[in-house]
Structure formats: C-alpha cells, structure tokens
Amino acid sequence: MKRNIRIVFPDLGYEEVEIELDVSLAPKTVEAILAKLPVIVNMNRWGDELYTDNTSIVMQVKENSKTEVSELDFAYWPDGNAFCLFFGPTPISEDGKILAYSPVNVVGKIVHPNKAKLLNKIKDKMIVIIEVSEMLHRP
C-alpha cells in the first residue's frame, strides 16, 4: 500500500514536494509517521541531503535500515528522530554512492523528480510542514 505526504516550505511561497510512502519498505516506520503527522520542524542541509531537527516521532526500530540510499529517497533517521531527503551526494558519499551519516529507514520517494531543484533553495533552520497529502496516488 502506498500513501502520499507532502513537505511544505512556507519560506518559499508554500512550495511543496510530494512524497510517496511505500508501506512495504518499512511498515512500522510508516505507521509511526502517519500517526504523528502533521509536524512543523526545522530543515537542515548536509551536502545534497536535507534532514529535519528532532521530531515528535520516536522510533528506535531500525527497519530495513541502510546507509547507502538512492537519489530522491525519503527516510526516517532513528538515531536522530528525524526525516531525511536525499537528492544527491552527501559530504561522505564516495564512488557515486549516496551515503547517509548513519543507517536510515527508507520509506518512500519524491514523486516529481523535477522538484529536486526546489530542494537546492533550502537553507539551515528553514521551517517546513510535513503533512498527509490529500492528493490521490496516481499510477
């Protein structure tokens, strides 16, 4: 089952990025995320990764956790109780691999790859709203 959420950037004229969550990747993590949305939190940048400050979602379960991720992946970071968006290399990436700082539970992907350009505009401590999207999943 797939569910959509969105990340809204008030400082950028309420632009948004839609994320498709895939329950089959990490069912407990997705359930915990959906139960706590919406959240308002600061976003930070680390290379071409965006990550939030600590959220109210506390889940120490490492569910299919990994450090090597794919471009446009959306993940939950159990060590930081935070979300991560990967749209390119991080400072520790090597050999063309995108590497997270420590293991993350990948739970979905950015729906529209062209929105990755928007992510380049994000600066540290920019407030974002992460909420369930009312948009229907499109095949």
pLDDT by position in tens, the chain (length 139): 789 999 999 999 999 999 999 999 999 999 999 999 999 999 999 999 999 999 999 887 788 899 999 999 999 999 999 999 999 999 999 999 999 999 999 999 999 988 878 999 999 999 999 999 864 433 3
137 within a domain of the structure (yes/no): no
92 phi/psi in degrees, rounded to 5: -105, 5
Coil vs helix vs strand at 60: coil
Coil vs helix vs strand at 12: helix
Q: The whole model's pTM is what?
A: 0.92
37 within a domain of the structure (yes/no): yes
52 within a domain of the structure (yes/no): yes
**Residue 93 Ramachandran class (φ > 0 left, ψ -120 to 50 alpha, else beta):** beta
Coil vs helix vs strand at 41: strand
Report the Cα 28 to chain-centroid distance in Å.
16
Distance CA 139, CA 131 (A): 21
What domain count does the chain have? 1
122 within a domain of the structure (yes/no): yes
Distance CA 89, CA 126 (A): 20
pLDDT at 139: 37
Q: Who contacts 58 (Cβ-Cβ below 8 Å, separation ≥6)?
A: 81
pLDDT at 117: 84
> Alpha-carbon torsion 112, 131, 120, 96, what sign?
negative
113 within a domain of the structure (yes/no): yes
53 within a domain of the structure (yes/no): yes
42 within a domain of the structure (yes/no): yes
Task: Write out the residue range of the structural domain in which residue 9 sits.
Answer: 2-132
pLDDT at 59: 85
| CATH code for the domain in which residue 69 is found | 2.40.100.20
139 within a domain of the structure (yes/no): no
Element of type H or E holding 3: strand 2-9
Distance CA 48, CA 14 (A): 21
